[in-house]
Structure 1
Amino acid sequence: MDEASRPLAAHGWARTPAVALRLTADRVRYRRRRWAARLLTAAVVVHQTVLVVQVVARATDSAPDVRATAAWGLYLLGVSSLLAGPLLWWAWRRVAEVRPVVLPLDVSAAAAVGVPELESEPGPHLGLSGVVEPPRRW
């Protein structure tokens, strides 16, 4: 990447804020990570659905020995949910890290990093200007 296309080109990459680094997005990497997260989510949903169907089938069976194994399926469902939850969170968090930021063409530098209030004039201090009565303990 050349100097002109880098955000905050006067600074090195080490001193570039993380928000400004997100302004240069690699859409291919974003789409690959999103596709991988979708596949992982679909695999977890299919796995959990299979376990739920097996638990329901075992719990409604007429044989008492088969009905007793429904608890084991419920245990597997809980353990797999506890393992799949952080895995899915990690996968979708990776997608959010590389998600492109779409900004209007006339955006200011402060709005680009998410704090448009930085460009407005600061208002008067309410306590020191006499607009608000100071607390009585003073």
Structure 2
Amino acid sequence: MPDKVDELVSKYKTNDPIKLIKYLDCGLFYDFLGYDTLGITAFTYGESTVIISNVLSEPEQQFVAAHELGHVVSGVKESTKFLRRNNFGLNIPKLEADANRFAFKLLMYNLDKDEPIMKYKILDYYDLPYSMERFMEPQSIMY
């Protein structure tokens, strides 16, 4: 799925997941989903709708939007289970792992590839657990 990131950024000239969701004519809503549910992607009648928890910080919402966008462009047109805080562990479905990889590639797209980046700073910025580092591409990331 990483090639989808290149296609989207090239076509729409942005790596902002919120803008990309809108450009792709997906529904986008913010609502209270509880404190453990971060986001949902629903597919009904050929339409995609992304719902993001309204209790998240802006950086968290950006990550969740990127993750849910990964589901939208994956080609799998079935509603996904809720992205929950406890879905960041080691045993997650391939569909969720792919969406996480997509999200990191999208959000890190415009970073200077020649300047090393501390992976934990990125994870801290998006308020993600350090176990999520396994979904980041190794290039330009300092361990």
Scaled by the length of structure 2, the TM-score of the pair is 0.22
Using CA pairs below 8 Å that are at least 6 residues apart, which structure has the higher relative contact order?
Answer: 1
The higher radius of gyration belongs to: 1
Scaled by the length of structure 1, the TM-score of the pair is 0.22
Bigger helix share: 1
